[in-house]
Amino acid sequence: MDYTTVFRPLIYKDREDIDEFPVDETNNPDYLTMESVFMEKLEERPFIKKSYNAPELLLMIFNNARYIATLIFSENHPQHYLHKYLRIAENDSKDIIICNHAMPATMALVVNYLLHYNGEIFYGSRIVKAIMENFKDWDLKGASEGKRDFLDLLIDRTSETDKYPRWTTDDGDFPRRDIHEVLKDIEIDPYEIVCGLDYIIQETFGMYSGNPECSQIMKAIKDLIENFERTEPISETTREMLGNAYQKLKKAYPHAGLKWEDCVSTPIRSELDLGVQDFSLQSSGILNPNFDPDREVLLGQMDDLKEKVYKLASENEILKQQLEDNESEKAFNATGNECFTKAKTGLLIYTIASLHDGPTPIKAKLVSIISAIGGWETTSVGVEMKKAGFNQSDIDAVAKLFEGAMPNFAAEIRRQIPRQSKSKK
């Protein structure tokens, strides 16, 4: 399918800070990431050095490149969508700086993602050739500086990466967002979920068909649509959209092992119906006999409570994320004994993989293994493993555990990349 037609938040969640990308995790040249090398090159480009909006431009370039790479990984023939990717890289803007400089920079990062994360798939691929060809004649079209932005930001695999003994990466996969995560994201407009129902149903059955999660997601979608219908102003167009959504969901229900039950609720009048009724009452001079001022006050109080609940939910999500990021995280089993956290288990499995499958294994491919060992959700494990490097305290603790019985293995654990504290420049 054409994934560019799906609402972006359903596929990719924009990162809100440049430090959410591994752009300056360490100053040690032995452990540089591709993104940190790209960032240094990008900071030297004239359009960034001279810009008052450099922070916004940098974040836009990284987010758009990551999103485009996710779209490319999703398609069998991504070269067919090149011009749609270029439009995304332009951020739907007519601004000269964005179109002539930020866009080429974005596409350079896309090429770097493809070649340095999955070079065995994308070296010589049609999509990479199509991107390169796009900028070939820019100098003839009067945009030579934009062409130079693109070419200078490409990271040559042989001449540049060979300088770094342990070239590291953020993660090797570009998965679309898990539908569980999408449905729980309070920042996504429910309208986008209702409109994107074809995609959401397809993703659900593609990932969870035959599993209990499939029926759980279908029920959650129905609850979301019903809540949207109860709480949002309903125009004739929206009512038709909801009708189509219910029909699609009704067809999907049996395939998830569910029996469909129609929702029994008070019909919601459309904006058109309300307008006609109000006009007729005003013209006849008759007040609405069903109007209850006390009820209106109560409804207003309910709206205030909804806003407070929404705010508390947002704050709760932030606190949960902070807890997951807490370097002193501890885990306990059912008997109350301390055991390995996600981070420590990830460090252990990553060390084993580095000994048997190369010095820098792809973290994303280890997520399902770590999740199965600890019984954690793959989403939370994926978040932990996307971080560049490991906490020094975890490295020391795990190495110490193996030191007596397996000193050579403990030494390998100590060789893993420590996560450096962010140094703001």
Q: pLDDT by residue for the chain (425 residues), tens digit each?
A: 789 999 999 999 999 999 888 887 556 666 677 888 899 999 999 999 999 999 999 999 999 999 999 999 999 999 999 999 999 999 988 899 999 999 999 999 999 999 888 877 888 899 999 999 999 999 888 889 999 999 999 987 665 556 555 555 555 678 899 998 999 998 999 889 999 999 999 999 988 888 888 899 999 999 998 888 888 777 888 888 888 999 999 999 998 888 888 764 434 444 444 444 444 334 434 344 455 566 656 666 676 676 667 667 666 655 655 555 444 455 555 555 677 888 888 888 888 988 877 666 777 788 888 888 887 777 777 777 777 678 888 888 999 999 888 988 989 888 887 765 544 33
In a domain, 293, yes or no: no
Question: Per residue in 262-292, is it b (16+ CB within 10 Å) or e — as a string?
Answer: eeeeeebebeeeeeeeeeeeeeeeeeeeeee
| Helix extents (H) in 76-209 | 82-89, 96-97, 103-117, 119-122, 126-134, 144-153, 179-184, 190-195, 197-208
The values of phi and psi at residue 307, to 5°, are -65, -40
Query: Same structural domain for residues 129 and 198?
Result: no
Q: Which of 252, 287, 322 is the last residue of a domain?
A: 287
Query: Same structural domain for residues 62 and 117?
Result: yes
In a domain, 238, yes or no: yes
Query: Same structural domain for residues 231 and 257?
Result: yes
Query: Same structural domain for residues 97 and 25?
Result: yes
Query: Same structural domain for residues 24 and 136?
Result: yes
Query: Same structural domain for residues 283 and 337?
Result: no
Sign of CA dihedral 48, 51, 55, 56: negative
Query: Same structural domain for residues 364 and 254?
Result: no
In a domain, 56, yes or no: yes
Query: Same structural domain for residues 397 and 346?
Result: yes
Give 3-state DSSP helix, strand, coil % of the chain, rounded to 5.
Answer: 65, 0, 35
Q: Which residues constitute the domain of residue 126? A: 3-163
In a domain, 350, yes or no: yes
In a domain, 425, yes or no: no
Query: Same structural domain for residues 243 and 344?
Result: no
pLDDT at 38: 92
Rg, Å, the chain Cα set? 26
Helix then strand count (H, E) for the chain reads 22, 2
State the pTM of this model: 0.65
Structural domain total, the chain: 3
In a domain, 422, yes or no: no
Indicate the pairing of strand 338-339 with strand 331-332. antiparallel
Query: Same structural domain for residues 185 and 159?
Result: no
pLDDT at 139: 85
Give the C-alpha separation, 36 to 118, whole Å.
18
In a domain, 169, yes or no: no
Query: Same structural domain for residues 118 and 267?
Result: no
Q: What's the first-to-final CA gap in the chain, in angstroms?
A: 42
Query: Same structural domain for residues 35 and 152?
Result: yes
Give the C-alpha separation, 104 to 38, whole Å.
13
Contact criterion met (CB below 8 Å) for 115 and 77: no
In a domain, 276, yes or no: yes
Contact criterion met (CB below 8 Å) for 218 and 249: yes
